[in-house]
């Protein structure tokens, strides 16, 4: 899967081909899957000289690197091991300005605008979501929203 953002679900598709002249039944060995990983459909039939696409979903809440296998049992006892590697990354975002001078902007009733430059110093893209509602306006806000 490569590098993905922490707490963002990613999906990839891999294909199993059947080069035999008879159909093959398969089952993903879910108990051997890496944590936070799901494969579907986890059972099925591959037609003779056909193929089936399987979807891998992965979502992890911590920064880590994982190298493992997805094991697929093919009828007859053969186990197919599909390499699975992923690195979850927390983006390193910095504010370029070292300080802000709010001057008269903090006086009640005054409005104004200031520029703030955000720099992504990580190897993966990031998206900023800023919700300035208070807890009273949005009671289902996540912990820490009052710090915004």
The CATH number assigned to the domain holding 57 equals: 2.60.40.10
On whether both 29 and 80 belong to a single domain, the answer is yes
On whether both 52 and 102 belong to a single domain, the answer is no
On whether both 80 and 134 belong to a single domain, the answer is no
On whether both 81 and 114 belong to a single domain, the answer is no
Do the beta carbons of residue 86 and residue 1 sit within 8 Å?
yes
On whether both 69 and 134 belong to a single domain, the answer is no
Domain that holds residue 148: 91-148
On whether both 80 and 144 belong to a single domain, the answer is no
On whether both 63 and 40 belong to a single domain, the answer is yes
Higher-confidence position of 140 and 37: 37
Number of domains in the chain: 2
pLDDT tens digits for range 73-129: 998 889 999 999 999 998 888 989 888 777 776 666 667 778 889 999 988 888 877
On whether both 8 and 70 belong to a single domain, the answer is yes
On whether both 10 and 80 belong to a single domain, the answer is yes
On whether both 131 and 106 belong to a single domain, the answer is yes
pTM of the model: 0.70
């Amino acid at each position: 899967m490569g590098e993905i953002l922490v707490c963002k679900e990613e999906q990839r598709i891999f294909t199993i081909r059947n080069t035999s002249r008879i159909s093959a039944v398969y089952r993903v060995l879910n108990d051997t899957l890496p944590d936070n990983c799901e494969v579907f459909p986890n059972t099925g039939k591959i037609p003779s000289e056909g193929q089936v696409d399987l979807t891998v979903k992965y979502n992890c809440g911590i920064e880590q690197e994982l190298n493992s296998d997805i094991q697929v049992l093919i009828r007859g006892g053969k186990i197919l091991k599909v390499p699975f590697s992923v690195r979850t990354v927390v983006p390193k975002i910095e504010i370029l300005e070292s300080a802000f001078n709010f001057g008269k902007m903090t006086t009640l009733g005054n409005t104004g605008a200031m520029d703030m430059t955000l720099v992504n110093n990580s190897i993966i893209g990031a998206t900023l979501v800023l919700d300035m509602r208070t807890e009273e306006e949005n009671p289902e806000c996540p912990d820490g929203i009052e710090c915004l």
